[in-house]
Structure 1
Amino acid sequence: MSAHTPHELADIFPEDADALQRLKRDDAHFVRLARRHHEVNRAVHRIECEAEAASDERLGALRKERLRLLDEIAMMLEQVPA
């Protein structure tokens, strides 16, 4: 398994690093979303690099959840004042 897991929030939103830090510091809901994204993203990565077995349905469900989380996170980032 690679040392770097792709699709981490800092990689997806590099221009929003300050906003990510502010939300992590100030918004409990964002913290829960970010943690869940991290968990789901790691699970997807483990399956994709074959460190863990899973059905196609499980992988598909995890990918959909990751996208849903990213959509919600992106909406929250858009609302952070510059």
Structure 2
Amino acid sequence: MFPEYRELISQLKAHDRRFDSLCIKHNELDQKIQDMEAHIEPASHEDIEILKKKKLRLKDEIFELLKKASATRPA
């Protein structure tokens, strides 16, 4: 996720609890969706779609935090 921000992601995960929490939730949702799609975990198509929308909202929030942090970083 966002390879162009790899270094900044590592820094924010280490120093920003909210950012770290969002990343953890995103990764957990991603794994849950993968398990559901692989039929490891039972779910309806609607269940999967709901989780994908939640994951997308988290990703958007993460991206906004990355943009803000990137804009305030010294060059």
Could you say which TM-score interval applies, normalised by the shorter chain? 0.7 to 0.9
Match of 2:18, as an amino acid?
Answer: H
- 2:45 corresponds to which of 37, 41, 56: 56
More helix by share: 2
- Among all aligned residue pairs of Structure 1 and Structure 2, give the percentage whose two residues are the same amino acid: 35
RMSD: 1.1
Pairing 1:1-82 to 2, within 5 Å after superposition = 12-80=1-69, 81=73
Give ranges in structure 1 of 5+ residues lacking alignment: 1-11
Normalising by the residue count of structure 2, what TM-score does the alignment of the two structures yield? 0.87
The 2-side partners of 1:72 and 1:19 are apart by 15
For residue 55 of structure 1, report the CA deviation from its aligned partner.
Answer: 1.1
Question: What number of residue pairs does the alignment pair up?
Answer: 71
Offset from partner CA, 1:14-59 (integer Å, 9 cap, x none): 1111110011011110111011101101001111122222012211
Runs of 4+ in structure 1 over 2 Å off: none
Normalising by the residue count of structure 1, what TM-score does the alignment of the two structures yield? 0.80
